[in-house]
């Protein structure tokens, strides 16, 4: 059980303390990284497909990666924010069943941890320029990866420990739904891992069923039963999540990204992307080029 939980690790991307105004107004945000906010003054809102939460002092907010949300501040909002990536060997997120914005009352320890993370990671803010043309996205992300790689071992452990402690608060909340991987058949879990590791290939339900020696109809019903998704939908979702990551962190062309994620042509890629993200690839890149 411990191995199943601690296979997940989290790497810091940005951390900062900012004072926001009415310019902080973004709709249909879907980022390839997590966002954690601690509000100490002012008010704003964050909403997803199912609910709308008030951003208010004294609360923590967690937005898992690839969670559709809207961010808004009508007047003034003061916040600590942390952005971080998640890594796991099989590519299955700890929050697979929790793609929703979550809210918890802040504790004194939470505040100490967040301020400590900010203190020990100076210069990790995001607001270098208001003009997205000033920086190149790929180089921008590579710099922070380089900072993590060159970090001293004790600091890596401390960063990881703080992020795990903050995330654990949401895992223990009543609203958290366990992935219950223990009850999912090994063939289904194996298929999910296989998909994550072969996103650049032309994956079909027929091939996945043959791989685990099952009838295609039976395999599809079992996959739907244990994951809540049809196999083809799952394949498309994971390919598009990977595409979102590439769009946000590289300057690759949309055709290159389509081929990297196993689509044979750009029109098909763009069609599936729009179906899942509700934005075109171009709109998604424009959104992520200036998002704070």
Q: How far apart are CA 183 and CA 62, in angstroms?
A: 27
Top pLDDT among 211 and 50 is at 211
Give the tens place of pLDDT for each residue, 149-158.
788 899 989 9
The predicted pLDDT at position 151 comes to: 84
Judged by DSSP in three states, 60 sits in strand
User: What is the rounded CA–CA span in Å between residue 290 and residue 108?
Assistant: 33
Return d(Cα 98, Cα 102) in angstroms, integer: 9
The two structure tokens encoding residue 91: 């590519």
With a cut of 50, say whether residue 9 has pLDDT above it: yes
Across 150-177, average pLDDT: 86
Tokens 């058949």 locate to: 185
Instruction: CATH 1.10.10.60 in the chain: give the residue spans.
Output: 184-290
* Whole-prediction pTM: 0.69
Statement: residue 130 has pLDDT above 70: no
Tell me: pLDDT of 132 over 60: no
- For residue range 48-103, list pLDDT tens digits in order: 767 889 999 999 999 988 787 889 999 999 999 999 988 776 566 788 777 789 99
Q: Identify the CATH number of the domain defined by range 184-290.
A: 1.10.10.60
Those residues with Cβ within 8 angstroms of residue 50's Cβ, 6 or more apart along the chain or in another chain: 100
Report, as an integer, the average pLDDT of 182-189. Answer: 74
pLDDT score of 204 = 94
CATH 2.60.120.10 positions along the chain are: 2-171
Domain 2-171's class?
A: mainly beta
């Amino acid at each position: 059980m411990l191995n199943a939980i601690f296979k997940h690790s989290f790497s810091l991307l940005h951390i900062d303390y900012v004072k926001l105004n009415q310019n902080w107004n973004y709709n249909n945000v879907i980022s390839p990284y997590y966002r954690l906010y601690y509000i100490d003054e002012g008010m704003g809102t964050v909403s997803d497909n199912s609910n709308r939460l008030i951003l208010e002092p004294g609360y923590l907010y967690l937005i898992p990666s690839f969670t559709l949300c809207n961010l808004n501040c009508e007047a003034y909002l003061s916040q600590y924010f942390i952005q971080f990536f998640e890594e796991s060997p099989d590519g299955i997120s700890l929050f697979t069943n929790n793609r929703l914005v979550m809210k918890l009352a802040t504790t004194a320890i939470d505040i100490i941890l967040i301020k400590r993370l900010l203190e020990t990671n100076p210069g990790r803010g995001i607001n270098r320029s208001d003009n997205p043309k000033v920086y190149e996205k790929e180089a921008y992300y590579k710099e922070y990866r380089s900072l993590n790689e060159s970090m001293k071992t004790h600091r890596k452990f401390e960063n990881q420990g703080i992020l795990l402690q903050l995330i654990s608060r949401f895992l223990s909340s009543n609203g958290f739904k366990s992935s219950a991987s223990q009850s999912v058949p090994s063939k289904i879990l194996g298929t999910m891992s296989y998909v994550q590791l072969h996103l650049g290939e032309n994956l079909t339900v027929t091939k996945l069923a043959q791989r685990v020696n099952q009838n295609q109809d039976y395999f599809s019903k079992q996959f739907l039963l244990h994951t809540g998704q049809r196999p083809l939908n799952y394949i498309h979702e994971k390919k598009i999540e990977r595409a979102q990551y590439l769009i946000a962190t590289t300057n690759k062309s949309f055709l290159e990204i389509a081929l990297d994620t196993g689509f044979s042509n750009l029109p098909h890629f763009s069609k599936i992307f729009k179906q899942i993200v509700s934005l075109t690839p171009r709109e998604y890149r424009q959104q992520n080029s200036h998002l704070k």
